[in-house]
Amino acid sequence: FLSSSSSQTLSKLEALECHFTWVKDTTRSQLLHRRVQLEDIGTDEGNFWLTSIYNLWGFVLYELGSSKEAHKYFRKATETLQRLRKEDEGPWLMVNYGNLAWLHHHLGEEAESQDYLSKVEALKSKFPSPSQDELHPEIYAEKAWTLMKFGRDNQRLAADYFQRSFKMQPDMVQWQSSRVIALASAAKHSDTGLSGDLMQEIRTAREQDPENLYVAAVELKERGKKGESVKNEAETLGQKILLQPVSSYSGLKPLLRLHRELGSLDKAIVLTEEALEKHPDERYLKRCAALCYKWKVLRGRGNQADQRTIKRAIKLHEEVVDLYPDSSLVKKIDLAYVQAKSSHGRTIAYQMFQDLLARRDLDSEDKQLLYYNYARYLNFERQDRNKSVRYYMKSAEIPNRSFYGKLSVKMLQKICERGRSRMCPKIREFLENLPDDDSE
C-alpha cells in the first residue's frame, strides 16, 4: 500500500497539466509514429512550436524506455522557453516542470520530483489562472498541440482548446492557424468536405498568419476541390515552400495533394525533385517524392506508367523504407504496390505481402491497415476476389475499429450493393453478426 505521503504526491502529480496526464493508452506502434512525426517536423530555430516539440519528444522517449534521453529533451524545452521568452519564469513553464516532476517520480527520484512539484505550485501562486475553471492560454495551446498528434477524436478536442487559448490572447495568430489545421485534419476523410464555416476560418487564418504556408496550402487545396481555378497560386506557393526550411509543416504535402486533385501529378513530381536537388539527404522530401510517384504509378488502368517512372518509384520507396525503420509498415505496403506494377516485380510484391502477414509484432491498428491493403492488392493485382473479401472481413472483425477497419466494412457493404460477388450471402451474414464498435 502507498504511504499517505506517497499517495499525496501521486494525487498532486495526477492533478498536473502535462503530457503524463494528457496522453493515455498509447501503443508502442503509435509512439514510434509520433517520434517519426517529431523528427520530420524539424527543430529549425524559427519554429514557433519548438518547446512543444521538445516536451512531446521527451514524453515519447520516456514511454519508449529512454529515460535519459527524455530528461535531455525536457531540459532542452526549459532552456528554449527561457531563451525565447527572455524571462526565467512564467505560466508557460508549468507543463515542462510537470513533465519533469513525473519523470523524476517514475525514476524513483522523489526529492527531485518534489522539487518540481514545488516549482509548479510557486508558478501557480505567482501567475494565477484567468479564472477558477480555466487554464492559462499557453497551457491550453500546448495541450491542444499535443493532443492533435494523437488521433482524429483528439484533433477535435485540440481545436476546442486552441479556440479557448486564442480567445484569451487574440494576438497569437499561430494558435488560430493550428486550430484550423487540426479541424482540417480531422475532416480529411469526410465524404462531405469542409463546411462553409471552416472554410471561412481557414481564410481568416491565412490572412492573419500569412507566414504559415501550411495553412495557405490547405486553403488552396480546399478551394481547388470546390472547382476554383488555383493553378497559378499553386505554382507561386510551391516556389515559396522551396525557400523554407524542410519540415512536415512547410505546406508541401497538402500542395502535392492539390496537384493530385487537379490532375497535375507531373507538376507535383517536378516540385519534389526540385526540392530533393536542394536537399538531397532530407528523408521527408524523399517520402513526399515517393508518394507522388506512387500516385502516378497507381493512377488507373488507362494510364499505365512507363517502366522508367516505375523504376524511380521503386528506388525512392526502397530508400524511404530504410530511412523510416520505425514506421516502415505503410512504406513497405506502398513499395509492394509499386513493385506489383513493374514488369518483373510481381513475385517480389507477393512475397513482400507474405512477409508482412507473417509478422508477429503488429498491433490491432496495424493489422487492420495491412489486411485492408492486402485485400485491395488481391482484388486489383491478382484478381482473387474471394480471398480479397476474406481479408476485408479479417480487417473489419478486429475490435476497436481504426480508419482502415471502418473502410473494410464500407468495402464489404459496397460489394454487397453491387451484388456481383458469389460471396454476397456470406458477406451479408458477416455484416449482420458484426458487433457494433465502440470506436465508431
Total structural domains within the chain = 2
Q: What is the CATH number of the domain that holds 34?
A: 1.25.40.10
The closest alpha carbon to 160, from 138, 194, 183, belongs to: 183
Residue 348 belongs to a domain: no
Low-confidence ranges of the chain (pLDDT < 70): 1-5, 190-192, 300-303, 438-440
The C-alpha atoms of residue 60 and residue 76 are separated, in whole angstroms, by 15
Residue 135 belongs to a domain: no
The closest alpha carbon to 74, from 113, 46, 108, belongs to: 113
C-alpha cell at 100: 519533469
The pLDDT assigned to 1 comes to 45
The pLDDT assigned to 440 comes to 47
Among 128, 155, 189, the domain boundary falls at 128
pTM of the model: 0.92
The pLDDT assigned to 303 comes to 60
Taking a C-beta distance cutoff of 8 angstroms, is the pair 144, 162 a contact?
A: yes
Residue numbers of the domain that contains 9: 4-128
The pLDDT assigned to 253 comes to 96
The pLDDT assigned to 270 comes to 97
Among 60, 94, 128, the domain boundary falls at 128
Straight-line distance from the first to the last Cα atom of the chain, in angstroms, rounded to the nearest whole number: 39
Residue 393 belongs to a domain: yes
| Chain length of the chain | 440
The C-alpha atoms of residue 124 and residue 129 are separated, in whole angstroms, by 7
Among 95, 128, 161, the domain boundary falls at 128
SS3 per residue for 252-282: HHHHHHHHHHCCCHHHHHHHHHHHHHHCCCC
Residue 381 belongs to a domain: yes
Residue 25 belongs to a domain: yes
pLDDT tens by residue, 30-84: 999 999 999 999 888 778 999 999 999 999 999 999 999 999 999 999 999 999 8
The C-alpha atoms of residue 354 and residue 341 are separated, in whole angstroms, by 17
CB atoms within 10 A of CB 239: 10
Taking a C-beta distance cutoff of 8 angstroms, is the pair 281, 251 a contact?
A: no
How far from 78 is each of 23, 71, 90, 381, CA to CA, in Å? Answer: 20, 11, 11, 53
The pLDDT assigned to 300 comes to 60
The pLDDT assigned to 294 comes to 97
Q: What is the DSSP letter of 176?
A: H
Residue 164 belongs to a domain: no
The C-alpha atoms of residue 212 and residue 221 are separated, in whole angstroms, by 15
Residue 302 belongs to a domain: no
The pLDDT assigned to 273 comes to 98
Residue 430 belongs to a domain: yes
CB atoms within 10 A of CB 197: 9
